[in-house]
Chain A
Amino acid sequence: MPVRMRTALVPFAALPLVACAGQQSALDPQGLQSTQILNILFIFLGVAAIVWIAAMIVLAVGMLRRNRTADQPLALHQPFERTAGRVVFILGLATLVIVLGLSIVSYAGQRTVFAKDEHALTLKIIGHQWWWEIRYEDDSPDKSFVTANEIRIPTGQPVKVELESADVIHSFWVPSLTGKMDLITGQKNELQFTAKTAGVYRGQCAEFCGLQHAHMAFAVLALSPDEFGRWRDNENRSANSPTDQLGKQGEQQFRARGCALCHTVRGTLAGGQLGPDLTHIGSRTTVAAGTLPLTPAALGAWIADPQHVKPGNLMPKMPLQSNELIAILHYLEQLK
């Protein structure tokens, strides 16, 4: 996807801003809110640049001037003192006017950015150390489902995320779509945003939440409304039953080797609640909360030794034979 850059940022254009893991940049807005915020940021940046340059010019001239001739430090030139006093006063007033102006710009922007739409698609996000539980909720229970670490949304439609935490404070941040909001223990926060263009946008926990804070990312996939509808229907379904022998073995091992104690695969006996829901893991793009791309090799490495990939995370290393690992992998890949 081509990077759309503002002219003001051309000096940084040499830096490739798009990662294959999805964009994560406040300078490359793809949402309504992130665009509005960037506009406010540019207003502030412009004012700041003018003020800084003006101050530096005054400083430079002041440093080069050699006006006073008297060597006696107390031999002051009274007219200069008076003028200086007046200039300082006027500049102080100017500062006041500028900050009040910027406050108004900021507050007006705040009202637009945080405007609420009653008809927004609602999902609930619960932060865990160190992954994201995503709950799509609907009035009818058969249309509600749970997934993890990956959010799919339709483009052009307001999305409301309700933010809660299962343990410590986390912060939900997808810079390409909007600013961040904390997930606070014992409190419900919410945030609304609208994706303008289809694409993959990376998000990451922004509040320090313990050992593996660095590895608590997620992806937002903005899809066309049709595509989103199809995906949602698929997510609603229970898990695919394995079709081949190896897959069936994998399903068995999944339960036998303890995976099911923590993970749910809807439609099977696996109903653990501690870890991410794996019903449709095969269709996701990353594993271990954005730590690795979801490829068979990466998934295999993760299951074989989660503590190597993400030390200190709550998934224990299970002593699996290689054939057991292959079977489980094969099973999970089929959970599309």
Chain B
Amino acid sequence: MTVMAEERELRDDALNGLELSTRLDRIWRTPPGLLGALMSVDHKVVGRRYIVTAFTFLLLGGILAILMRIQLAGPEKTFLSADKYNQIFTMHGSTMMFLFAVPVMEAFAVYLVPLMVGTRSIAFPRLNAFSYWMFLFGGCFLWISFALNVGPDVGWFAYVPLSSLQYTPTKRPDVWAQMITFTEVAALAVAVEIVVTVFKLRAPGMTLDRIPLFVWAMLVTSFLVMFAMPSIMVASTSLILDRLVSTRFYDSSSGGHPLLWQHLFWFFGHPEVYIIFIPGTGMVSAILATFARRPVIGYPVVILSLIATGFLSFGLWVHHMFVTGLPQLGAGLFTASSMLIAVPSGLQIFCWLATLWDGRPVYRTPLLFVVGFIVIFVLGGLSGVMVASVPIDTQVHDTYFVVAHFHYVLIGGAVFPLIGAVYYWFPKITGRMLSERLGRWNFWLAFVGFNVAFFPMHILGLIGMPRRVYTYTPEMDWAHLNLLSSAGAAIFAISFALLLVNVLMSLRAGTLAGDNPWDASTLEWATSSPPPPQNFDRIPVVKHRDPLWLDSASLPVVAGLSVERREVLLTSLAEAEPQIREASPEPSIWPLLTAIATTVFFIGSIFTPWAVLWGTPPMAVTLIGWFWPGGSKEDEQ
């Protein structure tokens, strides 16, 4: 039976040129129509949706930031009430961390990693679609709740006992905690897909030491997600249980402890910072190599630094708890471990600087954002060394100094590279270039606006301004610096408006990009812009770390994959030797239905424990539908 099927099957070695493209396009493309769109499992379609959704949340979170800056621009302003302000700062933090920063990095990975490793699809494409729906529904759930005045108001860190039922008897903390569950499910799913894609779907010949640095960064990030996120899921689920069915995880009067929350939260919360920052470093490495016109110096050093950062990031969560009354020696050890992370971060920066020294830099917008990244991130890293010291931290903890510090590392370390990445990969994703002229304005406004907005906050913190205050009295002399900061925020906001204008205008009328407008070296530039549904007509064979620089005219390829059904090529983990042809799933509506059933279950369960009972059968039904054997042929050797 199998033998006969094999004989009938047409493979790509029997076809060429247009006919091959057309056939592959037909089997890989997303079905037409609305239903087709909802069924899509194409990583590029899902990745695009993910990117657009995450940037929408950036816009929303940014608007909240502007509202806060208006309120704080002067003393005793009544623009926002205390209640609104507390909801807004909670929503700003939660949106930026859970609905923008982590998802947008994973979104770029979902789009780019399969292209960069030279395969036709991401691993587990249906899980990928499910992940996107969960992210979308979780984000909408949070924002609709906020619109209904049930937005969380206990901070993005939701410390107990303030977030317990006793002190916040509304549904607001439940909304926050369950939003976490949504986004964590989504993030974990992507992490698994990325790891498997990188380990098993690489093009033949892409040995471990030929993997692009961005892909390495996303691989390390995915492992961080898998080890860090369970901690916050345990924490937030325990919080919901405490609130809903009176378990006593955090209740000190019954043997629980509020510090348990802080440990669990920060055991996730600190790696979270690196989950956001490490992809940024990957983007920097990719952009820098292309625009410095040479490979990044110290490829193995950069990779080992990423891995070391990943490990170290799990050993320093306690520096968020230096003022909770920990034993002194223990706190001192966490000072050392926190500062140690400067070593791998520093090594990466030294490698980038060396690359720039030897390169012939071409100052296009992506590289400008990378230079801005270095200026800002180094400063943020150094203020990080300061807050790692216990005595210094007792003064600056929970003040605007820390607000300044983490915006320097997060915006400097992740958002600047990200905007650079938008300029860099926009041509690949849309087929059109972004305007360079607007890009330069965008960069300079962002750079100046950011520093004017956030640098004064260092001083504000040192002269006594605590975080999370909705107002301050005129006697405090914080007004001038706050006004300056608000002015900077306005400039910074304009830079994002310019980015939006640039994207919208270039989508319609941007210069056509061609396959490889920047003369870059990695595989995503070896296919058309935007890439066809099958990514590559033939799977490339990789013989060098920079395949397109080695020989951009003719890339060696392998043949032998089916052109009658979706197939990907599995390769070995270390050497990327071809192992097996594997069927890749067809489009399906079940991931969406499963996500809807899960959403009903999740939202229901913050109102009644019975939702666990009546919410499970629909999920089971949709999962059975999802995994119903489709009669596809056994995978062949």
Q: What is A's interface to B at a CB cutoff of 8 Å? A: 12, 15-21, 24-27, 34, 36-37, 40-41, 44-45, 47-48, 51-52, 55-56, 58-59, 61-63, 65-68, 71-74, 76-77, 80-81, 84-85, 87-88, 91-92, 95-96, 99-100, 102-103, 105-107, 109-111, 113-114, 129, 163, 167-169, 171, 173, 175, 178-182, 184-187, 189-190, 202, 204-214, 291, 311-312
Select one of B258, B383, B399, B546 contacting A206, CB under 8 A.
B399
B353 near A55: Cβ-Cβ < 8 Å: yes
B67 contacts partner chain A, Cβ-Cβ < 8 Å = no
B253 contacts partner chain A, Cβ-Cβ < 8 Å = yes
Which positions 308-364 of chain B face chain A at CB distance < 8 Å? 323-325, 328, 331-332, 335-336, 339-340, 342-343, 346-347, 349-351, 353-354, 356-361
Which positions 422-473 of chain B face chain A at CB distance < 8 Å? 459, 462-464, 466-473
**B52 smallest CB distance to A (angstroms):** 33
B557 contacts partner chain A, Cβ-Cβ < 8 Å = no
**A-contact 0/1 string along B274-316, CB 8 Å cutoff:** 0000000000000000000111011001000000000000000
Given contacts A41-B395, A207-B159, A214-B471, 10 further A-B contacts (CB under 8 A): A15-B463, A61-B357, A62-B356, A63-B371, A92-B343, A106-B391, A182-B325, A184-B259, A204-B464, A209-B162
List the one stretch of B32-40, B78-86, B576-584, B619-627 in contact with chain A: B78-86
**B80 smallest CB distance to A (angstroms):** 11
B236 contacts partner chain A, Cβ-Cβ < 8 Å = no
Select one of A91, A175, A208 contacting B464, CB under 8 A.
A175
B253 proximity list for chain A (CB < 8 A):
186
Complex CA gap A131/B298 in Å reads: 56
A73 near B293: Cβ-Cβ < 8 Å: yes
A51 proximity list for chain B (CB < 8 A):
378, 382
Complex CA gap A185/B82 in Å reads: 24
**B555 smallest CB distance to A (angstroms):** 15
A169 near B258: Cβ-Cβ < 8 Å: yes
Q: What is B's interface to A at a CB cutoff of 8 Å? A: 81-83, 86, 154-155, 159, 161-162, 167-168, 252-253, 257-259, 293-295, 297-298, 301, 323-325, 328, 331-332, 335-336, 339-340, 342-343, 346-347, 349-351, 353-354, 356-361, 371, 374-375, 378-379, 382-383, 385-386, 388-399, 459, 462-464, 466-473, 475-477, 480-481, 521, 546, 549-550
**A112 smallest CB distance to B (angstroms):** 8
B378 proximity list for chain A (CB < 8 A):
51-52, 55-56
A206 near B83: Cβ-Cβ < 8 Å: no
B382 near A66: Cβ-Cβ < 8 Å: no
Complex CA gap A311/B383 in Å reads: 36
> Whose C-beta in chain B lies nearest to the C-beta of A66?
B360
Main secondary structure of the interface of B (DSSP, over half): helix
**B345 smallest CB distance to A (angstroms):** 9
B391 proximity list for chain A (CB < 8 A):
36-37, 40, 106, 109-110, 113, 179
Complex CA gap A65/B395 in Å reads: 42
B342 proximity list for chain A (CB < 8 A):
95, 99
Complex CA gap A195/B391 in Å reads: 17
Complex CA gap A178/B486 in Å reads: 29
A-B contact pairs, 21 of them (CB 8 A): A17-B463, A37-B392, A48-B386, A62-B357, A88-B301, A99-B342, A102-B389, A107-B336, A109-B389, A110-B328, A129-B167, A168-B167, A179-B394, A187-B252, A204-B464, A204-B466, A207-B398, A210-B167, A211-B86, A214-B470, A311-B82
> Whose C-beta in chain A lies nearest to the C-beta of B164?
A168
User: Contacts A67-B358, A95-B343, A171-B323 given: A87-B350 contact, CB under 8 Å?
Assistant: yes
Q: Which interface residue of B86, B354, B391 has the most chain A CB atoms within 10 A? A: B391
A169 near B360: Cβ-Cβ < 8 Å: no
* 6 residue pairs, one from A and one from B, having the closest CB atoms: A179-B394, A186-B252, A24-B464, A214-B469, A189-B325, A106-B389
A173 near B466: Cβ-Cβ < 8 Å: yes
A186 proximity list for chain B (CB < 8 A):
252-253, 257-258
B466 proximity list for chain A (CB < 8 A):
173, 204-206
A20 near B475: Cβ-Cβ < 8 Å: yes
B356 proximity list for chain A (CB < 8 A):
59, 62-63
A213 near B469: Cβ-Cβ < 8 Å: yes
User: Contacts A24-B463, A26-B463, A68-B358 given: A107-B332 contact, CB under 8 Å?
Assistant: yes
Complex CA gap A129/B159 in Å reads: 15
B475 near A180: Cβ-Cβ < 8 Å: no
**B98 smallest CB distance to A (angstroms):** 18
A103 near B298: Cβ-Cβ < 8 Å: no
